[in-house]
């Protein structure tokens, strides 16, 4: 009897867990975001995961970033930095399995006017200029 109801119970559990997570719309990288193919970005990234300015395309440059880096497999375009937080635009890469969700020190907000995902990363006191490069 329980064996027959197990798939139903598992489906209900998945629905409950998914509805409690705070997920967001995600903005994909715009066409021409970088001057080299997407698959080559890791080759030019620094040890701190930063992507050098010489590879930023017009869509990235138009955001006036302070710096750009890989956050997991996605791209963080930093537009404001203060001693305790970093703010910017977050781009999802289709090869990434990480969907941005709110968590400790990480807040994401969909900007429906600009059609992109904005983020705020709160830094720990001992961290440097970026929260996660």
Residue whose pair of structure tokens reads 């807040």 in the numeric block: 107
pLDDT score for 132:
45
Question: Greater confidence, 122 or 1?
Answer: 122
Please provide the average confidence, as pLDDT, over all residues in the chain: 79
pTM: 0.72
Question: Greater confidence, 14 or 84?
Answer: 84
For the chain, the domains span: 22-122
Encode pLDDT of 61-78 as tens digits.
Answer: 999 999 999 998 899 999
């Amino acid at each position: 009897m329980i064996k027959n109801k197990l798939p139903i119970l598992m489906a209900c559990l998945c629905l409950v867990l998914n509805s409690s997570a705070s997920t967001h719309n995600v903005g994909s990288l715009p066409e021409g975001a970088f001057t080299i193919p997407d698959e080559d970005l890791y080759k030019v990234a620094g040890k701190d995961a930063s992507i050098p300015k010489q590879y930023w395309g017009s869509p990235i440059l138009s955001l006036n970033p302070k710096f750009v880096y890989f956050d997991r497999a996605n791209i963080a375009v930093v537009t404001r930095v203060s001693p305790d937080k970093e703010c910017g635009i977050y781009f999802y890469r289709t090869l990434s399995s990480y969907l941005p969700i709110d968590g400790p020190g990480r807040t994401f907000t969909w900007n429906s006017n600009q059609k992109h995902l904005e983020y705020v990363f709160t830094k720990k006191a001992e961290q440097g200029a970026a929260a996660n490069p």
